[in-house]
Amino acid sequence: MPERRLFLGRIRPDDLARVGDSPLVRPWDGHPSATWPYGSGGAPHAGVWGTTGGGKSSLLRLLLRGLVRRPGPRAITIIDAEGAGEFTVFDGMPGIAGIINANPAADAKLPDGTPTSVDRAAGALADTLALANERNEEREAAQRAWLRLLKDPAHHRAPDYQAPGEVWLVIDGFASFRYALRRYSKVAGDVTDDLVLTGRLGRKVDVHLVLADQVTYAARTKDDDGMPSPLRKQLGCRIGAVGELGMTATESQQAFDDPDAAKRIPPTPGGCLVQIGASRMPFVVPRWLNATDPDLDVPVGDRRAAYRLLPEAVA
Ligand SMILES: Nc1ncnc2c1ncn2[C@@H]1O[C@H](COP(=O)(O)OP(=O)(O)OP(=O)(O)O)[C@@H](O)[C@H]1O
Ligand SMILES: [Mg+2]
């Protein structure tokens, strides 16, 4: 099986000189690059933190570009909890199971009986949790079956288990997601609990979470919108995406458990820091135009060139 990693961004020469032998570094398109090992031995889930305008959504688009270009069976659900329609460019790409633009204001205009975007987002979370649970049951059953076969002295077979395809749940705007589901969904469970469970159950069975948000503290009140630590703990790949805006010591503490970590973020557009375990790597996300962004003042040719970095649409 090829190494399961996603490209995050390029490494500046100075940073490479300092942390060149990091397990997060791999050559990518001929450049030393920061990567996220998400398969076994790596971190299955990621959290992306950064102040508004720091480049979180841009980084998520780059991650998704890597995913839709990767061969192999995959089902990716993207929830744009800010309702900003920032992932439309992936419509119809290989492996995309759904793009949900959660927007309670638009939901209010839907005819009665139409499932709302918020309920569809709640459904996507519930489905992902149910799938992670099912896959764990199958995995356990395969292990028990192997033990039963052991009684037969002639048996030399490995457990009869087919690793399933990858499942990805990508949520841009965790706090907005949780708020919208709590406030507007009639079907949502406890969002944090469900995400924690999905993270825990998904680890061994190729169900991956990517959550992006601004850094906020989880208070004890019901309406707080921070990310509780049990959920933060599941997100083993931590990324700070702030570029030249930078992170305060408090934000750095929240994202990396270290007030000084963010000092290493390259102060340039697309500047980020990734941390997995004790390994850290600063990197710069290459600029990639969001081809469907209606507000960009760019020539059509540039949009088309950016779009051509994606595979051919399948649907
Ligand atoms: N890699 C990059 N190279 C150059 N500019 C970038 C890069 N990434 C982001 N930017 C610039 O920063 C702007 C904000 O980026 P983005 O929307 O990804 O931030 P965000 O963290 O998602 O913000 P918000 O919290 O408001 O959603 C982009 O419109 C773009 O101009
Ligand atoms: Mg954003």
Q: Spell out the domains of the chain, with CATH numbers in brackets.
A: 47-150+160-236 (3.40.50.300)
Q: What pLDDT, on the 0 to 100 scale, is given for residue 222?
A: 54
Check the CA dihedral 25-31-36-39 and report its sign. negative
Other Cβ atoms closer than 10 A to 207: 25
Proximal ligand: closest to the CA of 241? 1
User: DSSP 3-state assignment of 239?
Assistant: strand
Instruction: At 27, give phi and psi (nearest 5°).
Output: -70, 140
By alpha-carbon position, which residue is closest to atom 1 of ligand 1? Answer: 270
Residue type, 262: A
Q: Which long-range contacts (CB under 8 A, 24 or more apart) does 186-189 make?
A: 186/119, 187/119, 187/122, 187/123, 187/126, 188/118, 188/119, 188/122, 188/125, 188/126, 189/122, 189/125, 189/126
- Residue with CA closest to ligand 1 atom 18: 55
Counting ligand 1 atoms within 8 A of each CB, the residue from 12, 33, 58 with the most, and so the one to mutate, is 58
Confidence (pLDDT) at 100: 98
Residue spans of the chain under pLDDT 50 = none
pLDDT for the residue numbered 225: 61
Q: 114 C-alpha vs ligand 1 centroid, how far in Å? A: 33
Q: What single-letter DSSP state applies at residue 208?
A: E
Q: What is the pLDDT, as a whole number, of residue 168?
A: 98
Residues with CB under 6 A from ligand 1: 50, 52-58, 82, 214, 241, 269-270, 285, 287
CA 86–ligand 2 middle distance (angstroms): 8
Question: Which residue's alpha carbon is at the smallest distance from atom 30 of ligand 1?
Answer: 55
- For tokens 């941390």, the residue is 275
Smallest CA separation from ligand 1 atom 2, residue: 270
**Closest ligand (CA of 296):** 1
Q: In what order do the strands lie in the sheet with 5-10?
A: 25-28, 31-37, 5-10, 279-284, 271-276, 237-241, 46-49, 207-213, 166-172, 74-80, 96-101
Establish how many alpha carbons lie within 13 A of residue 188's alpha carbon, considering only the half-sphere containing its beta carbon.
24
Distance 242 CA to ligand 1 centre (A): 8
**Residue whose structure tokens are 């949790």:** 129
CA angle at 19 for the pair 16 and 25, rounded to the nearest 5°: 70
- Which tokens in the block code for residue 188? 């949502």
Tell me the CA–centroid distance for residue 56 and ligand 2, in Å.
5
* Spatial contact of 71 and 99, defined as CB atoms under 8 Å apart: no
Helix (H, G, I), strand (E, B) or coil at 181: helix
Q: What is the pLDDT of residue 196?
A: 97
- Quick one: which atom of ligand 1 is closest to the CA of 59? 18
